[in-house]
Amino acid sequence: MTRLDKYLCDAGIGTRSEVKNYIKKGRVSVNGSVVKNADLKLNENKDHVLFDGKAVSVCGLVYYMLHKPAGYISATKDDRDQTVLDLLADAPGKDLAPVGRLDKDTEGLLLITNDGALSHRLLSPKKHVDKTYLVHTKDPVTAQMATLLENGVDIGDEKPTLPAKVTLLSETCQLLLTITEGRFHQVKRMMIAVGTEVVYLKRLSMGPLVLDETLPKGSFRPLTEKEKAELGVL
């Protein structure tokens, strides 16, 4: 048994004071009846709670695939810009955060979760998790430039980048680039190092997780059981 206000807090509806105010205003119902008593004891396995007419449930660990559009920053909150969490405002779960960062103008795959252990595992420099990007460049990418990328390039850090995997596409200004690090603006800096600039960047995969191309930009969905198993979270 748990108190109604605590249950709503755990479900991510708001702070304790906020949810008490919501309850007083009659925005919460339990088993079909409006309840204005924050101290009400709930049976989490049997009682049906609605907030503003929508079902409320206390989720544990949750995992979402987001097709990030340009214009959003990879953060939980920001005073100036919209964040990727603004796109998941209605998603069940508390303490959601993006796993890693995509630049504001970069699109593509972004994993959103409250599983800190998974985030650490995917982002740890020691793990060398593959990340594949579709890169459009200002100038044609030559075989010589691809070889430089594959051998590692100096981007101004203490060490050159680790060897990358490059697949040149039929369009001469497009390539697939797989890296195993996550340095600041790494892909953009790598392309500058070989003599060109990135004009469009989209992440296609991270580890075993591959962007669902049927997912519209700005949309998200829960990971499938297969995807969670591949990430080792089942």
Residues designated catalytic: 103
Name the residue among 50, 19, 44 with its Cα closest to residue 32: 50
Q: How far apart are CA 233 and CA 140, in angstroms?
A: 41
Contacts of 112 (CB under 8 A, 6+ apart): 63, 64, 65, 66, 84, 85, 88, 91, 96, 97, 98, 99, 220
Which amino acid belongs to residue 52?
D
Which amino acid belongs to residue 157?
D
Strand pairing of 54-56 and 63-68?
unpaired
Name the residue among 16, 89, 66 with its Cα closest to residue 209: 66
Contacts of 80 (CB under 8 A, 6+ apart): none
The dihedral region occupied by 119, where left means phi > 0, alpha psi between -120 and 50, and beta the remainder, is: alpha
Q: Encoding tokens for residue 211?
A: 């962007």
* DSSP alpha helix (H) spans, 71-205: 116-123, 143-151, 186-193
Q: What number of other Cβ atoms are within 10 A of residue 140's Cβ?
A: 12
Name the residue among 167, 182, 161, 102 with its Cα closest to residue 135: 167
